[in-house]
Amino acid sequence: MSNPPNTLAPSHQDLSGHDQTFLDTNELVLNMGPQHPSTHGVLRVVLKLDGEKVLGTECIIGYLHRGVEKIAEHRTYAMFNPYVDRMDYVAAVSNGLGYCEAVEKLLNVEAPPRARYVRVILTELNRLASHMLWLGTHALDIGAITPLFYTFRDREEVLKIFEKYCGARLTTHAFRIGGCLYETYEGFEREVKAFVAFVTPKIDEYEELLTTNRIWVERTKGVGVISGKDCIDLGVTGPLLRASGVKWDLRKAQPYAAYSEFDFEIPTRENGDTYDRYMVRVAEMRQSLRIISQAVEAIPEGPIMAKIPKVIKPPVGEIYHSVEAPKGELGYFIVSDGSTQPYRVRVRPPSFVNLQALDKMVRGQMVADVVAVIGTLDIVLGEVDR
Amino acid sequence: MVARLKQHYGQAIREASSYLGQNYLIVDRSEGLNLLQELRDREQFDYLVDVTALHYPQREQQFEVVWILYSFPRNERIRVKALISENENAPSVTTLWSAANWLEREVFDMFGILFEGHPDMRRILLPEGWKGHPLRKDYGIIQQDQEWVQANLGIESGQ
């Protein structure tokens, strides 16, 4: 086979000769981010490559560090509440729930049943919104543009409910220490029910687009595999852990709010790859709808706010309380010295801990898979850097 | 369980107590690693939830390093604490849990506590070369490393 005259590309003949220059590879260090659309914020990853193969990664984080834990020490308990919304800003309601419940435990008060039901409804709506945003952007990273329009269209309906309930769409500050500040608005139940009826077939639509789509399957199956054992060793929680075969969800393991009163399942998968994590999250969206429709049918009557002192001064002591945020275990370790300001608030951020697994998941894979794996980790840099 | 641990480590466990239904142990710094290993291997605390610290400037041993553990088989949590003075190092548990790597780096970044045996002890959230450890109580809320800001960002002040 001789070389066609119009090309510079080497022919088979050229390559089978002694000259191997075309096949030699060098190790290459490639910088990805912090301004890169697929890093979902300001994550910087330095990749060590051998051709297309990833030999190692290093994450450089902190670009969005605002010192949230330091700020907490200089605010009263109630004043710090809106700050937690700014960590995982796509799931602000979950952040607020964890913080409010932790302070309530320190104060030894309990939110009234009505508040706990409203909290469950809003938190699950937020989980849906967070998973929708994840699905849209993750699919966009891999090259499918349609799911983004579908999921953002439907996420808008969640944000409308939030806006009507508390006036804000993203950083909602929906809960207060001791319950909820706002009563549900006129027609809240009706609108939530209508939303459930609207979005249930939409999830089938997402699945029609992706689940058996050949490009999607090729790009996600067997990519970024991590075993359940490694997940536990790395402290990885949330859908990532469940997609690796560990059936663990804080809503079931250590129920908080009113979760023990609802009937739902923990979806799990066995392979721990990007495809399985997608399947787990989609199944979780369906379970969230199941919880919402049970809760909205049975919101108890009564007060929505517990009787709490005007000045919140928890007794000396400490508490660790965690909730199942859309990303994984979100924990608050709060130490009180008996004053109006917390002595220390430590946030155990799921995104930060999960991001540590990136190196393990992409080693030996292709550069393009790094994008898929960052997407599947579902990190929010506001929470990684705090 | 605590009784059994006390039998093994009698002297090392200074205090074993519980507050609001959550158990915690205060241990000697030197026995920290052994005790955490014991908890992982014998008591099934297989998941390291968090590593963090507290600063009490008025105390002789200024720092408290806190490990929060969880056990999947037992569905139970425990906190282990060690008291550390300014010039002492904390034991690193990176050999027991890979999760400890970044968590310990964050504690070092925020408190300046060094972890003995950590493979890569450097800052994680703040930039290399930053002076001071912000979560110490003597670090002011609007305090910044102005020198670093001026040299690297080309602005007069970060405020």
- ipTM score of the complex? 0.88
User: What pLDDT is attached to residue A12?
Assistant: 59
User: What pLDDT is attached to residue A29?
Assistant: 82
Contact A320 B79 (CB under 8 A): yes
Contact B72 A331 (CB under 8 A): no
CA B103 – CA B110 distance, rounded (Å): 11
User: What pLDDT is attached to residue A1?
Assistant: 45
pLDDT values of chain B reduced to their tens digit, one per residue, 159 residues = 666 777 776 777 777 777 887 888 888 888 778 888 888 888 888 899 999 999 998 888 889 999 999 998 888 888 999 988 888 888 889 988 989 999 999 999 999 899 888 888 888 888 888 888 999 888 888 888 878 888 888 887 776
User: What pLDDT is attached to residue A321?
Assistant: 92
3-state secondary structure of A274: helix
**CB-nearest partner of A248 from B52, B72, B124:** B72
Contact A276, A269 (CB under 8 A): yes
CA B37 – CA A160 distance, rounded (Å): 50
**Domains (range + CATH), chain A:** 10-60 (no CATH), 68-385 (1.10.645.10)
- A199-245: per-residue pLDDT in tens? 999 999 998 888 888 889 988 988 889 998 999 999 999 999 999 98
pLDDT values of chain A reduced to their tens digit, one per residue, 386 residues = 455 556 666 565 665 655 555 566 677 888 887 877 777 778 888 888 887 888 888 888 888 888 899 999 999 999 999 999 988 888 899 999 999 999 999 988 989 999 999 999 999 999 999 999 999 999 998 888 899 999 999 999 999 999 999 888 888 888 989 888 888 888 898 999 999 999 999 999 998 888 888 889 988 988 889 998 999 999 999 999 999 989 999 998 889 888 988 989 999 998 889 999 999 999 999 999 999 999 998 899 888 888 888 888 888 989 999 999 999 999 999 999 989 999 999 999 999 999 999 988 988 888 888 888 998 988 888 888 88
Contact A62 B99 (CB under 8 A): no
Rg value, chain B, Cα = 18
A48 touches chain B (CB under 8 A): no
User: What pLDDT is attached to residue A320?
Assistant: 92
**CB-nearest partner of A232 from B47, B66, B127:** B47
Contact B50 A254 (CB under 8 A): no
CA angle B48-B51-B52, nearest 5°?
Answer: 155
Reduced DSSP (H G I as helix, E B as strand, rest coil) percent helix, strand, coil of chain A, to 5: 50, 15, 40
A256 touches chain B (CB under 8 A): no
